[in-house]
Structure 1
Amino acid sequence: MTDIWVARNSKIAINDYAYDDVIEDIHAYLGHTPQIELSYEAKIKTLWLTLAPEPRPVFTLELLSSINKVQRAINFLWGPEKYAKSPVRFLAYMHKQHGSVFTLGGDLEFYLECIAKNDRAGLEDYARQSIEGVSWNASSLRGAAITLAAVRGVALGGGIDAPRSSNVMIAERQATFSYPEIKFNHFPIGAVAVLSRVLHPRVAHEVLSGGKEYSAEEFAGIGALDAVVGEGESEAWLRKYATDNLKTHAAQLALFEAFYKRSAGPFEEELADLAKRWVDHMIRLTPIEISYLQKIVKAQDHFLSRAFQANATPNAQTSA
């Protein structure tokens, strides 16, 4: 906690909160938060968190850490005991476009680096931060704010866990969803627990074991999405959701909390168990299985290259 934040917090304790200071206060408390962008919309008391992973659209350790910092900061600065004066009622996740891709999932290059060095601690840190982000989202930031998320492109594997663990998850019509890990003798860290909260376990198992690609409409059809909207309409949908639910926010938040607490203990235990199982699995990978992961990285790069080219071609024709 920085001296700057302590000084600002003393001012806030005395005076009503100045909404223009929200981002400044968060950054003063957090320090460096790479690979995310924050903005604040006072009218609907919404903090927008834009995922901006670099250089590839995967959930890097830096991205996970930055997300976790923001989640904790909102709870610490404006948690349940400070609800009446909290300037943040909603935390809304968006993402920067990488061509037509939202996320390719976990950071395979980081996994491979840890495996090569037999760095179990590095894998454990990654798994811990993954499940902590999921837990904070699902618990409405421990009762501090309703969490919202939108997906606007291709979403693969464990990268789906972060938005799906939010209280409300929507997708634009062009988005697709799939968990291809099983084809490479792999599995996403928290997906079993995350999907089983919104789907029947048998359906969740089918989704994770089948490797099928689902359209947004199909994903919504099995109960994995709260809404499907038109291309380019997700931000407006989230904004309308916040606007419509602002007056009843306290009751809506209490409902999300109540449903979460019905299974909070088993859910947290399941996440911890999954994280341990995932690390054990990664450490035990055979040379052949490691080569599969290396091939996936190359395939991802090829996929990204094609996605960027497809996205850039219409622009080039227009400018001509």
Structure 2
Amino acid sequence: MAGFSVLSGNDVQALLDGSEKDVIEQVRAAYLTHHSGDTVNPDSYFLRFPEKPDARIIALPAYLGGEAGVAGIKWISSFPANVAKGEPRASAVLVLNDYDTGRPLALMEAAGISAARTAASAALAATALSAAAPATVGVVGGGVIARTLCQYLHAAAVPLDRVHCHDLDPASAKALTDHLRGRYDSDARASTLEAALDCDLVLFATTAPTPYVPAEHRFRPGQLVLNISLRDLAPETLLPADNVFDDVEHCMKANTSPHLAEQLTGGRDFVTGTLAGVLLGEVARHPDRPTVFSPFGLGVLDLAVGHWLYRRALEEGRLTELPGFFGETRRW
């Protein structure tokens, strides 16, 4: 009987560092596997707290077929109040289960995995959906996800020469701009929301619970908007755009901007297709429109990156085994 192992956050980060292109490829393959129907990706379950309306813990169970053949669940918390204490907003674990027996294989620290798969998805979308390399990049939100998004965009050869960073917290905007200047020699600067929204490539990485980009705002033709945090845009801003999703059904929930657009219009005529469909050449887009990519965040992506890390950790001897973790190993 297979044993049970733990992979620490330090080891996860060590395996992820310098492997951005590999992670992007794992995410690409997972999207295509999901598109082919060889996955099970139920709705995420949100655990909310009456006295902490901005906090939540989310369960993302999934099965990823193809070469991985693995099941599992990510359990990720988002407590925005942590930021004021200088602590990370999000923390997470990922459990991998053997598909043949159903038994858990490993427990992995997963905040880094979650950030990496989110950033890899954004980088993949940036390269697949951009007609040309952006001259300017606008980043709205100055936290860990924004930093990781820029890391993966750089790995995907998306220029970060001129970056406008906006955050309601000036210290966060400064931290991100200082990071971009030091690591990528970028001409990054703290900017207004309007300046960030006017860039060729716009990234939303906030914790906003409801839209604040006004209904009358219109992105220009050719702009690419990575709607990572999903709730920044008034639904009216989506209607004149090509709207590309990771999974349409998943995005039409929980009052995301696309969900609000569906409620506003009473239908899904604004939906253009999925990123996998774009990668396969199945989605027709309009050059006279902006493009908005809205990824709800699929559990199969966490499994893809987590299983790849598990295999590498096994090869490199990084797993901490827990002998005797299972109390009964035989039926009789």
TM-score, normalised via structure 2 length: 0.27
By relative contact order (CA 8 Å, sep 6+), the higher-ranking structure is 2
TM-score, normalised via structure 1 length: 0.28
Normalized per residue, the structure richer in strand is 2
